[in-house]
Amino acid sequence: MSVLDVRSVSKSFGAIRALSEVSFTVAAGEVVGLMGDNGAGKSTMVKLIAGNFPPSDGEIAVDGEVCHFHKPIEARGAGIEVVYQDLALADNLTAAQNVFLGREMKKGLWPFRVLDKQAMINRSAKLFAELKSETRPRDLVKKMSGGQRQAVAIARTRLSNAKLVLMDEPTAAISVRQVAEVLELIRRLKSQSVSVMLISHRMPDVFAVCDRIIVMRRGSKVADKATENTSPEEITGLITGAIRDA
Amino acid sequence: MTHSQTDTLKEGHASIGDVVGIREQTAFQKMVASQAFWVGIALFVLVVFMTWLEPSFGTVDNTTNITRNFAPIAIMGLGMTVVLITGGIDLSVGSVMGLVAIVAGLLLTWHQPWYVAFGAGLLAGMACGAFNGFFVAYIGMPSFVVTLGMLSIARSAAVVLSGNQMLYQFGPDAPIVKAIGQAKWPRHTPDGWVPHWIPELSSHFWVMVILALIVGFVFIFTAWARHLFAIGGNEHAARLTGVPVDRVKFQAYVFSAFTASIASLLLLGYSGSAINAMGTGYELRVIAGTVIGGANLMGGYGTAFGAVIGSAFLEVIRNALLMAGIDSNWQGAFVGAFIILAVLLGMQTSGKSLMETLASMFAWKRG
C-alpha cells in the first residue's frame, strides 16, 4: 500500500488555478523527485500535503486513510514531516534544542515539570549517529555548516518516526560538498524505509537519489517516470514544455 | 555517477567536523563569553575602586541605599528581559507603575484592607499587560507601537483616577503597607546577632532576589522559556514546529506588567503615598539596565542575572558620580555612554567580536 495517495487534487486561489487534477502515489521507502519550473505548482502541492491549507477538490490519503489537514500539526500527527527550504531552525538554540523544539521532553511533576535536557541530548546524538552526520547536540545552530543544519532539520523529522518526509529545495543554497552530505542523508532515510519527496531544481541531485521523477507544468502533472527510464534531457524538455507529456 | 558521489561523500563525512573546527563550549567558556559576566567584573572593580577613593561610598548605609534603589528597576528588568527575548519591547512599564500605584492608593484611601488594594493594583497592571499582549501577539501589531500607546493610556488613566492629587491618607492598613515597603532584613539591634558590617537589606532587594531566582530557574529549566528564546531566534520556525507562539508572547507582556506592578507596590509602601507620576521615564532605565546586562534588543538572548547586574551597574555608576561630587547633570551622559559601550561589547555575542571588528577595520585601512 502506498504511504501517500494524492487523488485528482485541484487547488484554486480565487480565479487562479494553481493545481488541476493532480494524482500520484508514493510507496514506502520510495524517494520521489518533484520537478517543475517556477510557478508549476510544486510549492502548492507541498503545502497541500503538509497541511498548510486543504485542497479545493480531490483528496489526499495517508496509508489509505483520507485526511483533511487544516494545520501543519495535523499532518505531522499523520506521519508527514516537512523540511522547509529555510529549514525552520532557531539560530540562537543548539542542535538538540532545535530538534525538540515544540515537543520538548519533560520530567517531574507540575508545577516543577522541567526539561529533561540529558535525555534530549542523548536522543539527538543517537539521531545524528543514525544519519551518520557529524553534528553535536550541544553546538549552536548559528555556527553550523549548511550540511549540518540540514542534518538538524532532518533529525527533527526522525523524532516521530515519520512515514513521509517532504524536502523543499534542500540543496538549493549549499556548497557541493554539503550537497553530497544531504543526498547521503536522504539515502539514510530511504534505508530506514521512510518515503521522501524531494522538491528540487537541481537535475543531478534528483537523478542521484530518486527512484521516480514527477514533472509538473502549469499546475498539471505531465510526467511520472522511473529514473532509469528517463534522462536529464527528457526531464528538461518536460519541464520547459518542449516535450508535451510522457 | 551515483557511485562516485557516494565515495566522495564518505571521505567528506569523516573530516567535516575537523574542517569546520567547532568545539563544544565548556561551562567556563560560556560564562566568559557572556556579557553579564563582564559587567559583573566591571561592577566589582568599580565598587572596589570607589570604596578606596571615597570612604562614604563603601559604608553599610550606602549599600542599603544602592540595593534598595536598583531593586525596582531590576524587578522590572526581569519582566523586560522576558519581552526582549521574544524580540519585542515594553515601553509601558513606567506608566503601568503609575496606574497601579493610583489604583492601590485609591482603595487604601477608601479604607479597604491592604490585600484588596494590592490585589486590585496587580489586576489593573496585568490588565494593561494583557492589552499589550493581545494586540502584539494575536493582532500582530509591532510591540513598540502598542506599548507606546499603553505608555500614554496608563499614565492618563492614573492622572484621571487620582484627580491629579497625591494620595497619602491611607486607611487603617497604612502601617502594614508601609511595613511592606520599608521592611529590612537583617536588622541591626543592640542585642541582635547581626554584626554591623552587614548591611540592612530592604524588602525591595529581597523581592528582587526571589524573583530573579524564579525567573532564572524558569529560563534554564522550562519548555516555556525555551519557546521564548525560539520565538526571538526565528518566530516563523517556532510557529512551524508547533510552538504556541501567540500564547507565549501574550504571557510575556502580562509578566512584564506583573513585574512593573510589584515594583510599583513596593515603592508605594516605601513612600507611604501614591502619585500618578510614579515611574515616569523608568522604562528607559529598565531597558538600559537589561541591555547593559546583555539582553539583545533583536531578541533571542537575555538572562535573569544580566537584568539584575545591569540595573545594579547603572545605579552604582549614578551613586558613584554623586559621591565623587560630579555635577548630577552629567549623569545622563555617563549612563548613555555606558549603554552604547555595553551594546558595542555585546556585539561579541552575535557573530563577530569587537576585537575582530577593530582588527578588520585596521587591516582594511592598511590594505
Q: What is the pLDDT of residue B347?
A: 65
The topology under which CATH files domain B27-358 is: ABC transporter involved in vitamin B12 uptake, BtuC (1.10.3470)
Do the domain assignments include residue A7?
yes
Q: What is the pLDDT of residue B77?
A: 98
Mean pLDDT of chain B: 87
3-class secondary structure, A82: strand
The residue that leads in pLDDT, A244 or B130, is B130
Q: What is the pLDDT of residue A23?
A: 94
Q: Residue A112: pLDDT band by 50, 70, 90 thresholds?
A: confident
B243 contact residues in A (CB cutoff 8 A):
101-102
Q: Residue B339: pLDDT band by 50, 70, 90 thresholds?
A: confident
CB contact under 8 A, B242 and A73: yes
Q: Under an 8 Å CB criterion, which residues of A touch B?
A: 72-73, 76, 82, 84, 86-93, 97, 101-104, 106, 113-115, 132, 134, 136, 138-139, 142-145, 147-148, 156, 177, 180-181, 183-184, 187, 204, 207-208
Q: Residue B3: pLDDT band by 50, 70, 90 thresholds?
A: very low
Mean pLDDT of chain A: 90
Centre a 10 Å sphere on the Cβ of residue B178 and count the other Cβ atoms it contains. Answer: 17
Smallest CA–CA separation between A102 and chain B, in Å? Answer: 5
What's the mean pLDDT in B144-154?
A: 97
Least CB–CB distance from A145: residue in B20, B24, B222? B20
What's the mean pLDDT in B123-149?
A: 97
The residue that leads in pLDDT, B342 or A223, is A223
Read off the pLDDT of residues A191-213 as tens digits, 9 standing for 90 and up.
989 999 999 888 999 999 999 99
Q: Under an 8 Å CB criterion, which residues of B touch A?
A: 1-2, 5-6, 8-9, 12-13, 16-17, 20, 22, 24-25, 221-223, 226-227, 229-230, 232-234, 236-238, 240-243, 300-301, 351
Do the domain assignments include residue A245?
no
Q: Residue B367: pLDDT band by 50, 70, 90 thresholds?
A: very low
CB contact under 8 A, B5 and A93: no
Do the domain assignments include residue A246?
no
A96: nearest CA partner in chain B? B226
Q: Which domain holds residue A145?
A: 2-240
The residue that leads in pLDDT, A160 or B209, is B209
Smallest CA–CA separation between B349 and chain A, in Å? Answer: 10
Is the four-CA dihedral A14, A17, A21, A22 of positive or negative sign? Answer: negative
The residue that leads in pLDDT, A164 or B22, is A164
Do the domain assignments include residue A94?
yes
DSSP classification of residue B135: I
What's the mean pLDDT in A123-134?
A: 89
Q: What is the pLDDT of residue B7?
A: 42
With a pLDDT cut of 90, the percent of chain B lying above it is 67
Q: What is the pLDDT of residue B346?
A: 67
Is the four-CA dihedral A93, A94, A97, A99 of positive or negative sign? Answer: positive
Q: What is the pLDDT of residue B358?
A: 62
Give me the CATH number covering residue A226. 3.40.50.300
Sequence spans of domains, chain B? 27-358
Give the integer Cα–Cα distance in Å for B343 and B306. Answer: 13
3-class secondary structure, B113: coil
The residue that leads in pLDDT, A89 or A52, is A89
List the Cα angle B276/B277/B282 in 5-degree steps: 130
Least CB–CB distance from A181: residue in B12, B22, B241? B12
Q: What is the pLDDT of residue B332?
A: 85
Read off the pLDDT of residues B19-73 as tens digits, 9 standing for 90 and up.
444 455 667 777 777 888 888 999 999 999 999 998 889 899 999 999 999 999 9
Distances (CA, A) of B206 to A140, B181, B255, B256: 35, 11, 19, 19
What's the mean pLDDT in A220-226?
A: 93
Do the domain assignments include residue A33?
yes
Question: Alpha helices of A30-145 — where are they, by DSSP H?
Answer: 42-49, 72-77, 95-99, 117-130
Q: What is the pLDDT of residue B14?
A: 40
Q: What is the pLDDT of residue B354?
A: 58
Backbone angles phi, psi at B86, to 5 degrees: -75, -5
What's the mean pLDDT in A90-109?
A: 92
> What is the tally of structural domains in chain A?
1
Q: Residue B364: pLDDT band by 50, 70, 90 thresholds?
A: low
pLDDT at B272 over 60: yes
CA quadruple B154, B158, B161, B162: dihedral, nearest 10: 180
CA quadruple B198, B203, B206, B211: dihedral, nearest 10: -170
Please spell the DSSP secondary structure of B51-82, one letter per residue: HHH-TTTTSHHHHHHHHHHHHHHHHHHHHHHH
Q: Give A195's strand partners.
A: A164
pLDDT at B353 over 70: no
Stated pTM of the model? 0.88
